[in-house]
Amino acid sequence: MSREYIGAEREWMKGTVVALGGGGFSMSDSGLTSIDKYILELTGESRPKVCFIPTASGNASSYAHKFEAAFGGYAETSVLSLFCQQPWGYTDPRFLLDQDIVYVGGGSTANLLAIWRLHGLPEILEEAAGVGTVLAGISAGMNCWFESSSTDSFGPLAPLNDGLGFIPGSACPHYFGEPGRREKYLQWVGEGILGDGFAVDEYCALVMKDGIFDEAIAERPGHPAYRVIRQGHAGIEADLPVRLLGRPIAGSPSVSSPDGRAT
């Protein structure tokens, strides 16, 4: 996709973001999936350093332990806790500058953004991405990188115009996976409440480079991604080509993630 398709008016954050609409280890009961392995391969390292940030889930220990169990055999893992909880305690967030991957879990987008700003993470993450750290995340961990998003951080689905703005436009995860996601997002884009953006289904992810769409990938067939733009008073979907990765590890059904599925 060319630069004029989105984000032509300014320079965006330098670096790579993998934004999952759903899927990955969070929605697997069998460890890593194809998208997770793809993220690891982006680093070019045989055993990359991967830090998980579970802020959006209120630092749910079960979620962090699930990450460690999934990635432990493939990477040097760590967890950034901003809640001073054991066994992780509190770590200076600048240690993210030494990571190959920062992987952000799902939960409340609004709470994630508020807490991150208090601890200075936006600036640190932008700096890390600029020196080669891959930024990845699911659900709230997808929403946070964009200027705005569809969220249920406040209960019912609502537009949130308070993202980090690393990527231009708006985002909607769980596009067909949760009731109302598609209808509300198309409505908000059509009304101009949210800017033009991207909608991503479960088990599918966007790969963004320097704020520009690079490709869409999926770990299961039949899970699309769209560019959604405003035409008149309607939000209009344009199909994005989706590259199917290897199938997920056998026996990884769709299950509720430890984050409670709030995004």
> Which residues are tagged catalytic?
139, 174
146-151 β-sheet, strand order:
158-160, 146-151, 167-172, 197-200, 225-231, 234-239
- 8-state DSSP, 99: -
H or E element in which residue 169 lies: strand 167-172
In the chain the first and final C-alpha atoms are separated, in Å, by 27
Question: Who's near 74: CB < 8 A, 6+ residues apart?
Answer: 32, 37, 40, 47
120: phi then psi, degrees, rounded to nearest 5:
75, 20
Classify each residue of 23-62 as buried b or exposed e, where b means 16 or more C-beta atoms within 10 Å of its C-beta. Answer: bbbbbbeebbbbbbbbbbebbeeeebbbbbbbbbbbbbbe
Q: How far is residue 99 CA from its own chain's centroid?
A: 17
Question: Who's near 206: CB < 8 A, 6+ residues apart?
Answer: 17, 18, 19, 21, 142, 198, 200, 213, 215, 216, 225, 240
Q: Token pair for residue 144?
A: 């946070």
Can you name the residues that pair with 216 across neighbouring β-strands? Answer: 206, 242
Angle of helix 109-118 versus helix 121-130 axis, rounded to 10: 90
Q: What's the CA gap between 188 and 160, in Å, rounded?
A: 11
